[in-house]
Structure 1
Amino acid sequence: MKYNPTESLIPAPPAQWPGGRGEMAGRVRGHDWASTPLGAVETWPQSLKTAVDLMLASRQPVYIAWGPELTSLYNDGYIPILGTKHPDGLGKPYADLFAEIWEEYRPVLAATMAGEAQHFVDKPVGLAGRTGLSTSWFTFSWTPLRDEAGAIAGFYCAATETTEKVRNEEALRESKEAALRQSEARYRTLFDSMDEGFCVLQLILDDDERPVDYRYVETNPAFERQTGMKDALGKTIRELVPDIEPYWFDIYGKVALTGEATRFVNHAPSMGRWFDVNAFRIGEPHRRQVAVLFKDITDRKRAEDALRRSEERQRSALSISTVGVMFWDDKFGLTEVNDAFLSMTGFSREEALGKTWQELTPEEFFSPSLRAVEEVTTRGENTPYEKQYFRKDGSRWWGLFAARKVGDEIVEFVLDITARKEAEAALRESEARFRHMADSAPALIWMSDDQGRIVFANMHYDYLFGRPASEMTGSGWRDIVHPDDLEEFEQTFLEAFQERRPIQTEVRVLDRHGAVRWLRCEGVPRLDDAHRFLGYTGCNVDITAAKVAEERRDLLINELNHRVKNTLATVQSITSQTLRTSETAAEAREAIEGRLIALSRAHDVLTRENWEGADLYEIVEQAVAPYSSQGEDRLHLKGPEVRLPPRTALSLAMMLQELATNAVKYGALSSSAGEIRIAWEVDPAEPPQLQLRWEESGGPPVQAPTRRGFGTRLIERSLAQDLGGDVRIVFAPTGVVCTVVAPLAPA
């Protein structure tokens, strides 16, 4: 609240007291003082008049209380402080004027009147009469005033209102406190959400300044998870972990005393944990406080220890002399073997490394090996299986194999079971054991007698063909063979049977649903201990998926051959015709390169679409792209979305290349003002007809050529023939116009 002094409301004659032109000077002169305890002005002591003169002359707000009732006087500067109490406050006793604070200030007033000066800074005062201000702040002093006899007759109050300053300071303080609270909230959120443990330690030193303990003065929520210690705040580590290792005091003591931060990994056996720790001093050095950010890495250390133990066990396993160990890469080439495997095979380590399983495996055991490879590849390990392996001298030995994928490698273990297999040879003809084994196998297993008749078929036949396995014996198996393959299959079996050699062939069969499936059929002669021929034992493997893949591959190869031949024929025609019509080698090279590039761009589009077709807009855009400069708008393309067959796409690309090349040399693109519009639409006739128009304008005047060049003949004849439609070029004076009408066969 500000107050601007005005001219005196009551002009004062020069002889009147008090002098001055301020409002309050006039009011003091005109007031009826005779009706107050002070009496008429003429009776006032000089000490009071002097004080009043001093008050009225001051620019600072001043208030004087005088006499037994402390009658009120004040200057212009004090008017805003009184508010609505002005002007009636003049001449009132202090107790009446300031009734609202009388009881509060009675002791202060008594002390002042006893001769004790008072001084207050930014004192809140609940004054009435100040609109909108229930409380105001002032810096003021009360000075005792004495009369001519030296007795204290009143007091002199010099005041400065500091309400605005205090409120601004308070607002600033509240703003800072709010910002601090917000900052602390963010810090607390971060502090509480950290996964790492955090704590502040207060180091405890002995008389020799050696660290002997520390107290937890702050912890975060993750502290308990990371340490396992509950209610640690305010406690020392010795209280929580009495047998804590002394080296923790040495580490944290050094940080606290030197201020050098440290990062380390350490074990706390007393807590059964490993910690990754980052420690640094905080606060003043004399406070001996250390902040610790840490993480429990016990699980990681245990995993590392387990890995070391596993590696040690692996090294021990590799040293076993009875179990061969092989390491394969992802292409199943040997990368490492142990001594036991080398002993089984007779190879040196240098001779063994790099070999594939196919080089070590007899061909008749490829099937189980392939199954094992597929199992390892798809599910990470294979079911243990038996097969023969070659030794270095070409002889064979039997092994029991099991493999597992570990990282990027495959580890395989093999046990030499040759002796066991030889011992079992005498029992191989046991009907019950063989039937149990065969019927449990997930493959088609069969046996013949020495006359070639099927005497056994396992239960997998029932599963695959929906017929009891017993119906496969004799000649019943013929019913499942595809009629077109039966004669050849029988002839193959008969020839191998007569020569007593292994059988390996492929045949089509009809499964239980009547669907055609492919089987790889393998059979080997079965001999008794005297090497007499007993018949064949065979296994048929379903290779339908592989056959389908082969057919698809052959189809793709044939399609590729067809497209390559067509492309080469096109290139041959372009080269031959261009060389025939070009006058110079440079002209021929430029023409051939441009046409081949156009062909290449069209091939790129078709390749992205797997040669199933192409979008007409993309073909046109690719063809004219080399002739479109940045910032120019000379090539205008317009038309609906149209799918083109591959042959049509190539033909149009060649046509557009020829037209664009001619436009650059002689037509619209040979001048800066020329433009080309390429527009197309589809006539919904049956079959639909593509109608495309190339139109040049703004170029030099056009004259029809005296003879048709190769480019023109290529467009009007060869490409028209490829498109199966009509292509016409008109050399209009305003620019070349080329129209195409061609049927749209399916892409």
Structure 2
Amino acid sequence: MSIGINRSQLAQMFAHAPGFMALVTGPDHRFELTNPNYQKVIGHREVIGRTVGEVLTDAVAQGYLDLLDQVYRSGEAHRADSALYAVQAEPGGEVVDRYVDFVFQPLKEDGRVWGIFIQGMDVSDRHRADRALALSEARYGALFAAMATGFCVIEMKFDASDRPVDYRIVEGNKAFEEMTGLVDPYGKWVSEIAPGLEQHWFDLYGGVARTGEPVRFENPADIFGRWYDVQALRIGQPGAWQVAILFNNITERKQSETRQNALLELNDAIRDLTDAGDIAQASAQVLAKTMGVSRAGYGTVDTVAETITIARDFNQPGVSSIAGVLSFRDYGSYIEDIKRGETVAIDDVARDPRTADTAEALRAISAGSFVNMPLMEQGRVVAMVFVNHATPRHYTDSDLRLMREVAERVRSATERARSEAALRDSEAQFRVFAQSTPIQIWASWPDGSLYWFNPQVYAYMGAKPGELDGPDGWLERLHPDDRDEAVKAWTDAMASGQVYEAEFRMRRHDGVYRAFRIRAEPVHDEDGRITRWVGTSTDIEDFRRQSAELARFNETLEEQVAERTSALMQAEEALRQSQKMEAVGQLTGGIAHDFNNLLAGISGSLELITNRIAQGRHAEVERFTVAAQGAAKRAA
């Protein structure tokens, strides 16, 4: 670009120009004109008639010459913004850095460049302001980018009736994008990126833009269970108001508050319950209402049969109970996880591979999503806390923590109820035993104050309930000679925690003293501290009397034994003689019987021989003679 102007006009213009001005001519760029401000740039030297190369000889000058050569050859203007120069305000004065915007304009005549017009403006203040602004923006940009607080600026859109109908997001930080899930939303109207947004939000932020009144509120949990603390305030200038919005994620705090409130409600609900089923039902109700699920309950698990037995469950209106015995395999394969003691949390039964094939069966019992949390005892699964929801939903870590805390409190409450029931049964049995036994039974606190006695104590002493209570109520009923020893033994036992044993005499209601053997044992809590003493008092008066009689009997026992022994020895000798005579009689009787048998054989044979001779049957005589001889030999 060329300028139609002569030298005289240039000289006059230079004299009054406020900025930096110079005119160089010819291909060697010889100074023709300069103004006072330009003299500051070149150090107040006389340069008219000299070339730029002669005046400026440093490295900066070489770049300056190259730039002038380019403009001179091309005939095209060149602009250098915020160029840094050393400026000397007065001859011999301080040199300071200044930023200058320069324009190099070629001067032409008949289409030929004959010189270059150099014009500059000192923009140091603007440059510093721009740099300060850029630095500030960089700092705040880094701050907003690093903030965990979400931040965005919106610009409202109003209709002809000044009613807010939309807004667009001007800028925001990374936390804002992460919290909202919006990708590159800047410059876009919300109706484009989130269609169907409620008019409530337009009215809310529009009110801030119009009135300048800031607002702060807590945004209810989104579909992911996240809560936000939101602040909105007006920024900008009249006619161009914008609204800055800050989002703080308060999910953890809200979830913690929700859990604490639920646990407080649970404590109130189960405090006075003594039945394990009632405790489980109350906890299921608190769990279902707090988590906003369709059903909650508790059941016992049989990992071998792969079943769960649900006595009762809590169901929201319109949801049917599933109480009874259910087979896990009818609803998926997640029983394998439960057997390992792992919590099963499924957000959508149709999408999880463990339940995809049985999704219809699960949806039929209002379990489009669920959590099953097994409870362990001695390394094995024995029960399960569960929640079901009719539709898919996400279960957060906070949900699982709440279920776990509820399960632990239910177990503690159940154990407490069982322990209290067992204690009541034990106390009932103890009362029956204590009232039916003939032995006197009593109890005392750790300091020795007696507070309970069975009826036998009152009957023996003729006392009324309360008369024997305290540390000394029993002492006046002891025999005076036995009190000191009894008290010392009791004091030593309480100090050492050892079993208390003593014998002393106690006065009966009719004034008679009878001897008793006393024994008491300490009862300890889980930490080993003595909580009470339980003792017995056994009447040994009759036993002592019998022992005395036995002692007197033992004194004459030796003489009685000697006399008895002598009598026994005489009786034994007579018995032996009698036994001998009896044996001889038995022996001689046997011999006589056997000998008579032999004589019968001999006499019989002789009689037969006589008969045969008389009959003349001499041939048979020899046979009977042989028989008689045999009998005679046996007799011999």
TM-score category of the 2 structures, normalised to the smaller one: 0.3 to 0.5
The two structures have a TM-score, normalised by structure 2, of 0.34
